[in-house]
Amino acid sequence: GNSVTQMEGPVTLSEEAFLTINCTYTATGYPSLFWYVQYPGEGLQLLLKATKADDKGSNKGFEATYRKETTSFHLEKGSVQVSDSAVYFCALPFITSGTYKYIFGTGTRLKVLA
């Protein structure tokens, strides 16, 4: 079956520190992979995505590489800012009975201190 395992938080970092949030998956076939971000009190926004193996998604200084050999899609940022404080979700879409469904990781709360 399909599943997403995401690093548990919370993660607390100082400003300009390096960030890694781990995400591994199991899937049938080779689905696209997504990272969504949820700022306090808001819905989710797409942060980045990768549609095939070895693709690197990037946005706002964040990066994630779709690694088929390790079934991983870890999120990284070289220098975090206070404004990056949010909850990050790894997500895997799949189609069942002709309908799109998503599996979300449990979410990792990031807190960046000034």
Partner 1 sequence: GAVVSQHPSWVICKSGTSVKIECRSLDFQATTMFWYRQFPKQSLMLMATSNEGSKATYEQGVEKDKFLINHASLTLSTLTVTSAHPEDSSFYICSAFPPAKRNTGELFFGEGSRLTVL
Residue 25, interface with partner 1 (CB under 8 A)? no
CB of 32 to partner 1, least distance (A): 5
The nearer residue to partner 1, 70 or 97, going by C-beta atoms, is 97
x/- mask, partner 1, residues 46-75, rule CB under 8 A, reads: x--x-x------------------------
Residue 45, interface with partner 1 (CB under 8 A)? yes
- 39 phi/psi in degrees, rounded to 5: -80, 155
CB of 46 to partner 1, least distance (A): 6
Q: CB under 8 Å, gap of 24 or more: what pairs does 92-101 form?
A: 92/2, 92/3, 92/4, 92/25, 92/27, 92/31, 92/32, 92/33, 92/34, 93/31, 93/32, 93/34, 94/2, 94/27, 94/28, 94/31
Rg of the chain over Cα atoms, rounded to whole angstroms, equals 14
Residue 31, interface with partner 1 (CB under 8 A)? yes
- Binding partner 1 by CB under 8 A: which of 42, 68, 81, 113? 42
